[in-house]
Structure 1
């Protein structure tokens, strides 16, 4: 089977990667890489040394990535959007701490707490003001003098009790 680029034309480091990590490659590619390494005079001991060196570089890179992730944080625009999109904020990013984003995880928790407090205050103020405004509205209605309106709508109205007394 021909690979693109062909196994024979690849660099020694690429061949070592193919041989040391065979699960990522097709079996035929691994066999061709082993054959090519033997042709180039790379022994099994040198392959193991390369693998140790490669693993050491990966560990160093991973440590650096973890440090970088621990210091990353959200920018203010992202925090504001998270604040107003509370349900989505709660559903997202549950794995930030596990992935090493420590500062972002703390910011995420703070935004959720602040958002919940903010929305709770809004709902409480709405419900308390509604009952107060209803009570004030009813009180205003009861105190309203509508005698002028009655006169303009019904005209001069005499009390029916007074008429009856006069007619006797």
Structure 2
């Protein structure tokens, strides 16, 4: 006889009912048999067991209903303006580290049925990347222009005379 921890005889009645009515995928056959024997020893009738199982089924159906409602509500949930601004400013960083703002990744948004947020995030990140690219390109171009202007301002006439270019 296998000893389970905690022992089957010390478990609560509802847990025993769950074990007794489970399959061998969740529990070993010996645990199921011990749970059934313990239920008989505690004088728990089949009717009482069915009532507990029906209660669990009802709770499960209520949970399923609430989960469907939650997922349906997620479809139209939108980001707040301040969240959109932060995503726009820090877009490239948030692609690499999405949890910096305690937000979902793109894959999680789809999995949690946030269709509007998913579309908003893709648009905001695209605009963010384009803006950052334009900003960096413009900054680099201006920096190069400034460097070339400084080079042009340098007087090299003495050098030209010294080396025979004039």
Same fold (TM over 0.5): yes
- Aligned residues of 1:7 and 1:33 also touching (Cα < 8 A): yes
Preserved contact between residue 7 and residue 32 of structure 1 (Cα < 8 Å): yes
For the 8 Å contact 2:78–2:117, the answer to whether it is kept is yes
CA-CA distance at 1:7 after TM superposition = 1.0
The aligned runs of 1:1-168 (5 Å cut-off) are 1-22=2-23, 23-65=25-67, 67=69, 70=73, 80=86, 83=91, 84-87=93-96, 89=98, 92-100=105-113, 102=114, 106-127=116-137, 149-150=156-157, 154=161
Gaps of 5+ in 2: 99-103
Provide TM-score, normalisation by structure 2.
0.61
Give 3-state SS (helix, strand or coil) of 1:42's partner: coil
- Conserved 8 A contact 2:8-2:34: yes
The more displaced of 80-89 and 1-10 is: 80-89
What CA distance in whole angstroms lies between the structure 1 residues aligned with 2:79 and 2:21?
38
Q: RMSD between aligned alpha carbons?
A: 4.2
CA contact (8 A) 1:16 1:47 kept: yes
Q: Which has the larger radius of gyration?
A: 1
Count of matched residue positions in the alignment of Structure 1 and Structure 2: 148
Q: 1:153 to 1:95 in 2, by over 3 A?
A: closer
Q: 1:151 to 1:92 in 2, by over 3 A?
A: closer
- TM-score, L = length of structure 1: 0.60
Structure 1 portions without partners, runs of 5+: 160-168
Check whether the contact 1:86–1:112 (CA below 8 A) recurs between aligned residues. Answer: no
Structure 2 CA distance for aligned equivalents of residues 26 and 145 of structure 1? 87
| Structure with more relative contact order (C-alpha pairs < 8 Å, separation 6 or more) | 2
Deviations 1:115-163 (A, max 9, x none): 211221232354467668878987x69xx799x75368528x9x8xxxx
The whole-number CA distance in structure 1 between the counterparts of 2:153 and 2:110 is 66
